[in-house]
């Protein structure tokens, strides 16, 4: 019995030694050399300031340190000097990171805070984050750990932002209606200004011109001619 126990112990020791030889530490990540190596996440850092008087260096320094601590491979650092209220078409940096995401050039986008990423409102910000998700790119706010698609609260954050975006649309609609009511209460007419010569149109009609002929002469649509003559 003792011989069998010694033999079994030896097998276990050999197996443990083999596993130890297969496993090693590389690039800060544990991987098994007998299997496929675990790849580091490719990271793009995005920073933004509003004016030339401000600097992004403080943001970059701490974001780089954080990414390195997470063992992410930083492949690019993209910065904007522009208002966060401007769209991606007006911010070359944001436009670039979205294009890179579409091309699957990185795995995670790291930014200082959500308002550094976008201040266009909940609806537009949600649109950007949803695009990143569609492109299978994760996103993470350095100063707001809960605003991240890497953690367990990712779905909750997206749902919350969707609700905020919906409320924002409602508020915009209410403000628009209130503004129109104020204009009407002052006696102003809404809609496009009437540029057609009403008297000339009616005179042409009395002379026997067709609606199409009048529209052509007055450079307006046939429907507009009909509307004027029916008024």
User: How many residues appear in the chain?
Assistant: 231
3-class state of residue 112 by DSSP: coil
Residue 201: closest CA among 221, 186, 181, 174? 221
Provide the 10 A C-beta neighbour count for residue 52: 7
Residue 64: closest CA among 54, 75, 55? 75
Backbone angles phi, psi at 184, to 5 degrees: -65, -40
pLDDT at 131: 93
Distance CA(205)–CA(214), nearest Å, equals 7
Q: What pLDDT digit, counting tens, does each position of 176-229 carry?
A: 777 667 767 776 655 555 566 788 888 888 888 888 888 887 888 888 888 888
Please report which helix (H) or strand (E) contains residue 185, including its range. helix 154-185
Q: What is the mean pLDDT of residues 78-107?
A: 91
- Whole-model pTM: value is 0.56
Beta strands in the chain (DSSP E): 23-26, 29-32, 42-49, 73-81, 108-111, 138-141
pLDDT band at 5 (very low <50, low <70, confident <90, very high): very low
C-alpha 115, offset from chain centre: 12
| Neighbouring residues of 101: CB distance < 8 A, sequence distance ≥ 6 | 109, 131, 132, 135, 137
3-class state of residue 19 by DSSP: helix
pLDDT band at 111 (very low <50, low <70, confident <90, very high): very high
Q: What pLDDT digit, counting tens, does each position of 132-161 carry?
A: 999 999 999 999 888 899 877 777 777 776
């Amino acid at each position: 019995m003792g011989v069998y126990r010694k033999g079994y112990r030896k097998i276990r020791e050999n197996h443990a030694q083999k596993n130890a030889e297969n496993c090693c530490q590389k690039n800060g990540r544990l991987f098994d050399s007998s299997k496929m190596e675990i790849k580091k996440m490719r990271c793009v850092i995005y920073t933004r300031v509003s004016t030339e008087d401000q600097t992004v260096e403080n943001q970059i320094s701490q974001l780089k340190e954080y990414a390195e601590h997470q063992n992410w491979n930083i492949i690019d650092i993209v910065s904007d000097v522009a208002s966060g209220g401007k769209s991606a078409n007006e911010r070359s940096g944001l436009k670039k990171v979205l294009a890179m995401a579409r091309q699957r050039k990185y795995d995670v986008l790291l930014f200082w805070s959500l308002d550094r990423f976008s201040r266009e409102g909940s609806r537009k910000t949600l649109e950007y984050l949803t695009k990143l998700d569609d492109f299978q790119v994760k996103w993470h706010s350095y100063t707001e750990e809960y605003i991240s698609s890497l953690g367990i609260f990712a779905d909750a954050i997206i749902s919350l932002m969707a609700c905020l975006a919906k409320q924002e649309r409602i508020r915009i609609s209410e403000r628009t209606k209130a503004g129109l009511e104020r204009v009407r209460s002052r006696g102003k007419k809404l809609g496009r200004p009437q540029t057609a010569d009403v008297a000339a149109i009616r005179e042409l009609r009395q002379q026997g011109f067709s609606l199409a002929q009048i529209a052509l002469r007055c450079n307006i649509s046939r429907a507009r001619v009909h509307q004027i003559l029916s008024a």
